[in-house]
């Protein structure tokens, strides 16, 4: 009754004024740069010859199509995605399930410790792992592989080793994903789990057919966040990208043309093509989400 009698007017001008920092920032640091990138991609802009910029049409795009590194980069990105993302999602669901179990002792402490690696500088992490995996002085050979009777792991710079390194490091960053899964699991009402139990569902059946479907929104969110992280975008708890050594081979390649060769025109072309690939992947994911993500509001 009272709210009917008095309605606070939230006027338009103040609203626009309030969001103006973002609007200006968006224009200056996002929109104009994106368009400028597009513009650069049609030129032979080189950092060392800033006064000599020529419009070269689609030459950069033709060059990209003929670039032998591109199919390799796409393949490398895809192969990373194919095994890293399921690994991260699976591990964060498993850990969340363990942490959600009322049978676990010292739950808060355990949660804290699992989250810990997610806040460490990635530079420190990279060198910590390199040391851990070092064939001579690291612990992996001495305390894990050798006692199991396996051959020591030799070159830390072999392709397989780098892939394993990226895999373990990405597992180490699942803290935020794990918390989101955990919060989603804690949000499932007890009635639903009780009802499943009444119907004779065991713990495993109830986990796969009740818990998992109920937390699909959290899974979807984590999937998107993990993908963006691999694509070199902004992530939830950004620990700073190690950039050219990062898990996105595409980023490394763009960085090479930008900061090693100063070939801005070609770097911008690569960045734009990469942007399109990312947008297509994200749109595809969103369009399939209606089929498998549970939205309680729609019922």
Partner 1 sequence: MEEKELYNPRSTAKTLLVTGVTAFFLILFLSPFAFMVSTSLKDDDQITALGAPIWPARVATYEYNGAELEAFTVPLNSCEGSEDSNDNKTLAIVKKGLRESTFIDPDNRERGEFVCAVAWRSLERPWQFSATLDNFKETWSLIDYPNLLWNTTMYAIVSTIGVLFSCTLVAYGFSRFDFPGRDLLFIVLIATIFLPAFVTVIPTYTFFQKIGWVGTWLPILVPTFFANAFDVFLLRQYFMTIPRALDEAASIDGASRFRILWSVILPQSYPALLAITVFHIVYAWNDYFGPLIYLSTNRDAWPISVALSTFNGIYGSDPALIQAGALMALVLPLLLFIFAQRFFVRGIVITGVDK
Contact, 96 vs 185, CB < 8 A? yes
Q: Which is nearer to partner 1, 161 or 275 (CB)?
A: 275
234 binds partner 1 (CB under 8 A): yes
Q: Tell me which residues in 164-203 interact with partner 1 (CB under 8 A).
A: 172, 176, 179-180, 183-184, 187
Contact (Cβ atoms closer than 8 angstroms) between residue 225 and residue 176? yes
User: From the CB of 203, what's the least distance to partner 1, in Å?
Assistant: 9
Name 269's Cβ contacts closer than 8 Å, sequence gap at least 6. Answer: 40, 41, 60, 61, 63, 64
Q: Does 268 bind partner 1 (CB under 8 A)?
A: yes
* Residue (24 or 62) nearer to partner 1, CB: 24
**Which residue among 55, 78, 103, 202 contacts partner 1 (CB under 8 A)?**
103
Question: Contact between 150 and partner 1 (CB under 8 A)?
Answer: no
CA distance 97 to 208: 11
Does position 142 interact with partner 1 (CB under 8 A)? The reply is yes
Rounded CA separation 144/159 (Å)? 21
Site for partner 1 (CB under 8 A): which residue of 167, 258, 289, 293?
258
292 interacts with partner 1 by CB under 8 A: no
Whichever of 210 and 224 has its CB closer to partner 1, that residue is: 224
The reply on whether position 134 binds partner 1 by CB under 8 A is yes
> 3-class DSSP state for residue 242?
coil
Q: Give the count of beta carbons closer than 10 Å to the beta carbon of residue 74.
A: 14
Q: How many residues interact with partner 1 (rule CB under 8 A)?
A: 106
Q: Which is nearer to partner 1, 102 or 200 (CB)?
A: 102
Sign of the C-alpha dihedral computed for residues 97, 98, 99 and 103 taken in this order: positive
The residue range among 78-86, 147-155, 156-164, 255-263 that interacts with partner 1, by the rule CB under 8 A, is 255-263
Cβ 88 vs Cβ 221: under 8 Å? no
When asked if residue 271 is in the footprint of partner 1 (CB under 8 A), the reply is: yes
Farthest-apart Cα atoms in the chain, separation: 79
Q: Which is nearer to partner 1, 61 or 172 (CB)?
A: 172
Kindly state the smallest distance separating residue 226's Cβ from partner 1, in Å. 12
Does 139 contact partner 1 by CB under 8 A?
A: yes
Which has the closest alpha carbon to 221: 170, 251, 172, 176? 176
The single residue listed with the structure tokens 């620990």 is 239
Nearest to 235 by CA among 79, 125, 118: 118
CA distances to 44, 52, 53, 260 from 49, in Å: 10, 6, 8, 15
Q: How far apart are CA 139 and CA 146, in angstroms?
A: 10
**Residue 149 sits in the site that holds partner 1 (CB under 8 A):** no
**42 vs 231, beta carbon nearer partner 1:** 231
Q: If binding is defined by CB under 8 A, does position 110 make contact with partner 1?
A: yes
If one asks whether residue 205 binds partner 1 (CB under 8 A), the answer comes out as no
Here's the x/- map for partner 1, 14-53, by CB under 8 A: it reads as xxxxxx-xxxxxx-xxx-xxx-xx--x----x-x--x---
């Amino acid at each position: 009754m009272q709210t009917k009698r008095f309605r606070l007017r939230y006027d338009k001008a103040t609203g626009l004024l309030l969001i103006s920092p973002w609007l200006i920032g968006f224009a200056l640091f996002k929109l104009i740069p994106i368009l400028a990138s597009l513009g650069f991609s049609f030129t032979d802009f080189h950092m060392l010859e800033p006064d000599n910029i020529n419009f070269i049409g689609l030459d950069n795009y033709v060059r990209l199509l003929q670039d032998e590194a591109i199919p390799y980069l796409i393949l490398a990105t895809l192969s990373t995605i194919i095994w890293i993302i399921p690994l991260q999602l699976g591990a964060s669901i498993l850990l969340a399930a363990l942490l959600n179990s009322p049978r676990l002792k010292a739950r808060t402490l355990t949660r804290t410790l699992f989250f810990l690696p997610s806040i460490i500088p990635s530079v420190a992490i990279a060198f910590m792992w390199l040391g851990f995996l070092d064939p001579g002085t690291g612990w992996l050979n001495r305390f894990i592989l050798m006692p199991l009777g396996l051959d020591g792991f030799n070159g830390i710079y072999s392709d397989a080793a780098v892939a394993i390194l990226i895999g373990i490091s990405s597992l180490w960053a699942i803290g935020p994903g794990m918390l989101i899964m955990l919060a989603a699991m804690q949000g499932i009402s007890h009635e639903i789990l009780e009802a499943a139990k009444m119907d004779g569902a065991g713990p495993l059946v109830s986990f796969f057919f009740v818990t998992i479907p109920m937390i699909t929104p959290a899974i979807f969110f984590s999937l998107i966040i993990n993908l963006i992280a691999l694509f070199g975008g902004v992530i939830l708890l950004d620990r700073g990208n190690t950039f050219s050594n990062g898990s996105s081979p595409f980023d490394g390649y763009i960085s090479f043309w930008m900061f090693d060769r100063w070939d801005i025109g070609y770097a911008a072309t690569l960045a734009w093509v990469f942007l399109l690939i990312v947008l297509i992947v994200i749109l595809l994911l969103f369009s399939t989400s209606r089929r498998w993500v549970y939205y309680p509001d729609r019922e």
